[in-house]
Copies of this chain bind each other. A is one copy, B any other.
Amino acid sequence: MAPKFDADGLVTCVATDARSGDVLMVAHMNAQALQRTIATGEAWYFSRSRRALWRKGETSGHLQRVVEMRIDCDQDAVWIKVEQEGAGACHTGRRSCFYRAVPLGKAGAKLQFVEDKVFDPKAVYDK
């Protein structure tokens, strides 16, 4: 394994729901996050906005248990299939961060909300 980290020392990580197959989120891992994810079987990321290592669910309790990890052909992206603890992965309160659909075939169409909130982000994050 020879991950190809970018100029910021990161690889892209796609997390999918091990049961439904839905994409839950796209985030990034630095070498330490990748190492900890492999060692512990729980998802660790690197937050680009906070410039900090981030154990998924540290605040919310919504941990992700990694069922399988794969790496792509050029080793700059990993795919983890996870069992999502708690109601959801998204900080907005949805199960998936991809809760809006983009209509095809017409430019400038409005996004369509296709997933309801499954938890109250205020109650979960403002503890």
Name the contact of A101 in the complex, choosing from B14, B70, B94 (C-beta under 8 A): B70
* A1 adjacent to chain B (CB < 8 Å): yes
Interface membership of chain A positions 21-39, coded 1 if the CB is closer than 8 angstroms to chain B and 0 otherwise: 1110110000000010011
A70 to B22 Cα, complex, angstroms: 11
Q: Is the interface of A mostly helix, strand, loop or mixed?
A: loop
Known: A14-B23, A111-B1. A70 touches B41 (CB 8 A): no
A77 to B107 Cα, complex, angstroms: 18
Name the contact of A23 in the complex, choosing from B16, B92, B98, B108 (C-beta under 8 A): B16
B107 close to A38 (CB less than 8 A): yes
A96 to B39 Cα, complex, angstroms: 25
